[in-house]
């Protein structure tokens, strides 16, 4: 009997995915867990393994077509059989010129009941789409979405905007302004500034200028959109701390051989930083939260996202319940996720659910970085290079002298909507103390 291959759920907020490439063609033999096809979502590109062994009987979704999660994309079975009830034709991506901006969804539905599952999904678009809609004064319920259950995708909204400008909410006032303009809403004594519509973009190059133009990859476009949306959403503030990593360096050098023999993985500086961050997040839970309208959502689990640079972009695999792990568990999880990220072998739940992110530009020699917050999180830590520097040290008797120390500059980017500067500084002071004094269970 034929086995249905369905589009997988690549994270709790992912409703659809695009087929990028098929590694097999109909009639080919497929082994279980062998890479069958590649997909792209608004979070990650991934290789999807075959769920069963057999012969690829048919491909039901062509390359470059976006379909909802759960859609049957292919069938695997015995070479002598035909899939029962198979569609007469493959779902093929239409040519660019023929793609209607408001095309009907693959699974039509009745939208009359706003309280139905479909009705709720219809207006529950991604944070990026909702932010874009707020900026342009667009009512998402008036757009026919092509995503799962009529969900309005970014492409749907862009197509809607391309049809012409919507009626302005108020002359000279952009719709990005929040409910603070409601006279009945508290203003906290602040006078909101009028938002000005952005100026038209300048040409990227002049006529006759020697250039080479290449289209962005899907992942690069997604990263660009998410970063711009994050800056528009969160009030970014940064604090940078100088941290003496000499103590950690000595612990690492003393125990790294024993550690590798015990846990089967190398010990880098990052697990120490991760453990210090976990303790700080427990001490200051506001940094392990999200903003939901006028509410602060405190996350009860500490799920650390660790940014991994790839040749084709950036991905943030997540170490779940990181605060429950010892140094060995953190090191093994970190190294395993980073390796599988580079080989496109991450599982769906390993790229979602992060509550706090750490990124390490120092691996390339940066003194420190000021990273953009990974929405819907409210804080992100940037780790600079660890470099030997001459510093003034005060001895036990109060005498000052110059010593060579291993110094790291680390930044915290935080959302000033709910995290004040003092709290951000206290968070980093906690991290600094842990890194400079804790034994991390090694001694």
Q: What pLDDT score does 413 carry?
A: 97
**Count of CB atoms situated within 10 Å of the CB of 82:** 12
| pLDDT score of 86 | 43
Residues 6+ apart with CB under 8 A from 362: 368, 369, 383, 384, 385, 386, 408
Q: Find the CATH number of the domain harbouring 163.
A: 4.10.320.10
Of residues 207 and 148, more confidence is placed in 207
3-state secondary structure of 92: coil
Determine, yes or no, domain membership for 182: no
Q: For residue 253, is it within any domain?
A: yes
d(CA 50, CA 41): 19
- Lowest-confidence range among 22-31, 56-65, 88-97, 124-133? 88-97
Tell me which of 107, 181, 231, 416 is the catalytic residue.
416
Look at residue 228 and tell me if it is in a domain. yes
What is the distance between the alpha carbons of residues 391 and 369, in angstroms, rounded to a whole number?
22
d(CA 180, CA 186): 7
Task: Classify residue 175: in a domain, yes or no.
Answer: no
Listed range (13-27, 47-61, 393-407) with the worst mean pLDDT: 13-27
Beta bridge partners, 5, equal 74
Is 416 catalytic? The answer is: yes
CA dist., res. 236 & res. 225, Å (int): 17
420 assigned to active site: yes
Rg (CA), the chain: 25
CA distance 307 to 327: 19
105 and 138 co-located in one domain: yes
Are the C-beta atoms of residues 422 and 399 closer than 8 Å to each other?
Answer: no
Residue 227 sits in the same domain as residue 303: no
* Residue 187 located in a structural domain: no
- Point out the catalytic residue in the list 139, 156, 420, 425: 420
* One domain, residues 257 and 377: yes
- For residue 111, the model assigns a pLDDT of 35
The CATH code of the domain that includes 14 is 2.40.50.100
Assess whether 80 and 110 both reside in one domain: no
Please check whether residues 223 and 346 belong to one and the same domain: no
Question: Can you give the pLDDT at residue 150?
Answer: 65
**What's the whole-number mean pLDDT along residues 279-295?**
96
Whether residues 109 and 155 share a domain: the answer is yes
Model confidence over 99-118: pLDDT tens digits? 443 333 333 333 333 444 44
Q: What is the structure's pLDDT at 117?
A: 40
Which residue, 355, 136, 370, 127, is CA-closest to 226? 127
Alpha helices in 189-245 (DSSP H): 218-233
Q: Is the pLDDT of residue 192 over 50?
A: no
229 lies in the same domain as 243: no
pLDDT of residue 276: 98
Share of the chain above pLDDT 70, in %: 77
CATH of the domain at 303: 3.30.559.10
Q: Which structural domain, as residue segments, surrounds residue 72?
A: 3-93
Residues above pLDDT 90, as percent of the chain: 48
pLDDT reported for residue 398? 92
Could you give the CA distance from residue 173 to residue 194 in angstroms, rounded to a whole number? Answer: 6
Give the tokens for residue 418.
Answer: 């709910």
- On whether both 61 and 111 belong to a single domain, the answer is no
- The total number of structural domains that make up the chain: 3
Helix axes 270-283, 327-342, angle to 10 degrees: 110
Mean pLDDT over each residue of the chain, to the nearest integer: 81
């Amino acid at each position: 009997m034929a086995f249905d291959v369905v589009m997988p759920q690549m994270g709790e907020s992912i409703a659809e995915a695009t087929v990028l490439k098929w590694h097999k063609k109909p009639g080919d033999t497929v082994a279980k867990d062998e890479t069958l096809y590649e997909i792209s979502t608004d979070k990650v590109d991934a290789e999807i393994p075959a769920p069963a062994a057999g012969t690829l009987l048919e491909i039901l979704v062509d390359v470059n077509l976006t379909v909802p999660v759960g859609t049957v994309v292919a069938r695997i079975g015995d070479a002598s059989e035909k899939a029962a009830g198979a569609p007469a034709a493959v779902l093929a991506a239409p040519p660019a010129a023929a793609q209607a901006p408001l095309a009907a969804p693959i699974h039509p539905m009745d939208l009359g009941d706003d309280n139905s599952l479909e009705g709720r999904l219809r207006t529950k678009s991604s944070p990026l789409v909702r932010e874009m809609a707020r900026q342009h004064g667009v009512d998402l319920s008036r757009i026919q979405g092509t995503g799962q259950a009529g969900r309005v995708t970014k492409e749907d909204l862009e197509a809607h905007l391309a049809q012409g400008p919507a009626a302005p909410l108020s002359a000279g006032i952009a719709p990005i302004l929040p409910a603070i303009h409601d006279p009945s809403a508290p203003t906290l004594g602040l006078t909101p500034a009028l938002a000005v519509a952005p100026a038209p973009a300048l040409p990227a190059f002049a006529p006759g200028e020697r250039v080479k133009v290449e289209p962005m990859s899907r992942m690069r476009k997604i990263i660009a959109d998410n970063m711009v949306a994050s800056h528009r959403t969160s009030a970014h503030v940064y604090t940078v701390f100088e941290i003496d990593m000499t103590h950690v360096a000595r612990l690492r050098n003393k125990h790294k051989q024993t550690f590798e023999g015990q846990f089967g993985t190398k010990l880098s500086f990052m697990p120490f930083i991760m453990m210090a961050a976990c303790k700080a997040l427990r001490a200051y839970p506001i940094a392990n939260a999200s903003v939901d309208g006028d509410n602060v959502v405190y996350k009860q689990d500490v799920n650390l996202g660790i940014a991994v640079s790839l040749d084709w972009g950036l991905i943030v695999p997540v170490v779940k319940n990181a605060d429950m792990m010892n140094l060995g568990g953190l090191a093994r999880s970190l190294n395993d996720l980073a390796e599988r990220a580079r080989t496109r072998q991450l599982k769906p739940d390993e790229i979602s659910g992060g509550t706090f992110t750490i990124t390490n530009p120092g691996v390339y020699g940066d003194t420190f970085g000021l990273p953009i917050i990974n929405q819907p999180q409210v804080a992100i830590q940037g780790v600079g290079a660890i470099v030997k520097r001459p510093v003034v040290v005060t001895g036990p008797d109060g005498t000052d002298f110059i010593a060579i120390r291993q110094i790291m500059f680390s930044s915290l980017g935080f959302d000033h909507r709910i995290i004040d500067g003092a709290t951000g500084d206290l968070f980093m002071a906690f991290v600094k103390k842990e890194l400079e004094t804790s034994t991390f269970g090694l001694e």
